[in-house]
Structure formats: C-alpha cells, structure tokens
C-alpha cells in the first residue's frame, strides 16, 4: 500500500494486521481519485470505516485540508495513528475509535460538513441507505460534496437514494464497485 499522488506520493502505508480488513488496492484508489478529483483545493473529508486510513490520507495528499478518520476496531485505529505519524500530519487529522453512526452523530453535534465522505463498510453489514439518510438529515455533506461508496459487486445500490443521485459507478475486478453520489 502506498500514497498514489500528491504531497506524499510514493510514501508507504502500513495495512491493518487483520484478515477481515480489505485495503483499497492502489489501482482502485487511483481510479477513484481520478473520478472525484484528482486534486483538491482544500475542504474536509470523513473516512468512515477507515481501516488503515488510506482513502483519507490520499485525499489529504491531494489537497484536502483536514481529515477525520473513524473505525471501531483497535488495530485499525493503531494503524491509522502509525500512518499519520509517519507522514507527520497529526495536526491535520482527528482519529476516533467508535461506531459509524455515533461518529456521524458527534459530527452533526459539532456542526461539521464534509466535502468528501468515504464509505467503505464491511460488505453487507451496514445499510448504505441508513447512512445516506443520516447524512442528509444532519446536513453532513456540503452542497457540492461527494459520497464515495466502496461496495461488493453483489450489493446493488439504487441510482437515487433519498436526495442523493448516483453520478458514476465503476466495477473493478469481480469483487469491488465504487459508486459516487451527490445531491
């Protein structure tokens, strides 16, 4: 695993030492950022179900100002801290070990709005519809923000989920699909 482009291009990231965590491959990450960027002029991202923090770190490398990383697994949180420390970006990130919905509720209480929200939950364990509903109800995405969903090929997401419309969906290998949603 590595940072593909930007300020930290080529820097290695350590993966979560856990067999149930599937890091986003470099090929998928590069394609995903070509779809939403490839570079950014500031903003804030939320890497929910962050794992190693690879998607949030890539967005920081490409110009996002600040990132919030959330995962409920202790090994993932330790890995995120290691990756953040190795890149010396502690002042640009917040890391929380908690459940996704608790994290969204805390962000709403703080009045945060995100330009990019990365959703890569364990396949078939979390409802994207429930996440979208909560994000919309609490105004957590900026008006021009993007929801980036990584899901299994078997998990079909509707073209319209609440006020969010699918802008693009790409399948990689026979396992992963990335779908982008905006208001």
Write down all domains in the chain, each with its CATH number in brackets. Answer: 26-182 (3.40.50.150)
| Three-class SS state of 29 | helix
Predicted confidence (pLDDT) per residue in 6-41, tens digit: 999 999 999 998 766 667 778 889 999 999 999 999
Residue position matching structure tokens 């930290």: 8
CA distance 117 to 134: 13
Say what the pLDDT of residue 1 is: 87
Say what the pLDDT of residue 71 is: 96
Of residues 132, 123, 65, 79, the one with CA closest to residue 104: 132
Of residues 166, 174, 122, 121, the one with CA closest to residue 147: 166
Predicted confidence (pLDDT) per residue in 46-69, tens digit: 999 999 999 999 999 999 999 999
Say what the pLDDT of residue 145 is: 97
In 3-state terms, the chain is what percent helix, strand and coil (to 5)?
Answer: 30, 30, 40
Predicted confidence (pLDDT) per residue in 121-162, tens digit: 887 788 999 999 999 999 999 999 999 999 988 888 999 999
Say what the pLDDT of residue 20 is: 62
Say what the pLDDT of residue 172 is: 86
């Amino acid at each position: 695993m590595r940072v593909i482009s930007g300020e930290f291009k080529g820097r290695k990231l350590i993966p979560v030492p856990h067999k149930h965590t599937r890091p986003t491959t470099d090929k998928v990450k590069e394609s995903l950022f070509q779809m939403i960027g490839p570079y950014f002029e500031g903003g804030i991202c939320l890497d929910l179900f962050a794992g190693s923090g690879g998607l949030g770190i890539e967005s920081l490398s490409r110009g996002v100002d600040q990132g919030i990383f959330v995962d409920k697994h202790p090994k993932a949180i330790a890995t995120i801290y290691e990756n953040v420390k190795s890149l010396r970006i502690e002042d640009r990130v917040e890391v929380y070990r908690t459940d996704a919905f608790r994290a969204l509720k805390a962000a709403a209480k703080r009045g945060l709005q995100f330009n990019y929200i990365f959703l890569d939950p364990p396949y078939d364990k979390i409802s994207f519809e429930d996440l979208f509903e909560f994000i919309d109800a609490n105004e957590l995405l900026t008006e021009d923000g993007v929801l980036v969903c990584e899901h299994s090929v078997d998990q079909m997401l509707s073209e319209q989920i609440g006020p969010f419309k699918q802008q693009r969906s790409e399948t990689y290998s026979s396992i992963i699909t990335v779908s982008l949603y905006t208001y």
